[in-house]
Amino acid sequence: MAGITAAGGFKASGVSAGVKYIGKKDVAVVYSERDASVAGVFTTNTVKAYPVLLNMERVKAGKARAVVVNSGNANACNGPRGMDDARAMTAETARLLGVAEERVLVCSTGVIGQPMPMDRVIPGIGEAVKALSERGGRDAAEAIMTTDTELKEYAVSFELDGRTVTVGGMAKGSGMIHPNMATLLCFVTTDAAVDPEFLKECVAYAADRSFNMVTVDGDSSTNDTLLALANGVAGNSEIKAGGEGCGIFRDVLTEVCVFLARAMARDGEGATKLIEVRVVNAPTGQDARLAARSVASSTLFKAAVFGRDANWGRIICAAGYSGAQFNPDAVDIFLGDIQVARGGQGLSFDEEAAAAVLSGDTVNVLIDLKEGQYEAVAWGCDLTYEYVRINGDYRT
CA distance 297 to 249: 30
**Contact by Cβ (8 Å): 26, 7:** no
Which of 48, 24, 257 minimizes the C-alpha distance to 147?
24
**Contact by Cβ (8 Å): 137, 69:** no
Alpha-carbon torsion, ordered 317, 320, 324, 326, to 10 deg: 110
H-type alpha helices, 267-312 = 285-297, 299-306
The Cβ of residue 391 has, within 10 Å, a number of other Cβ atoms equal to 16
**Contact by Cβ (8 Å): 221, 260:** no
**Contact by Cβ (8 Å): 244, 330:** no
Question: Does residue 146 have an active-site annotation?
Answer: no
Question: Catalytic pick from 147, 183, 215, 254?
Answer: 183
**Contact by Cβ (8 Å): 228, 202:** yes
Residues whose CB falls within 8 Å of the CB of residue 254, separated by 6 or more in sequence, listed in order: 202, 205, 206, 209, 210
**Contact by Cβ (8 Å): 109, 174:** no
Report which residue type is found at 391: N
User: What positions carry a catalytic annotation?
Assistant: 183
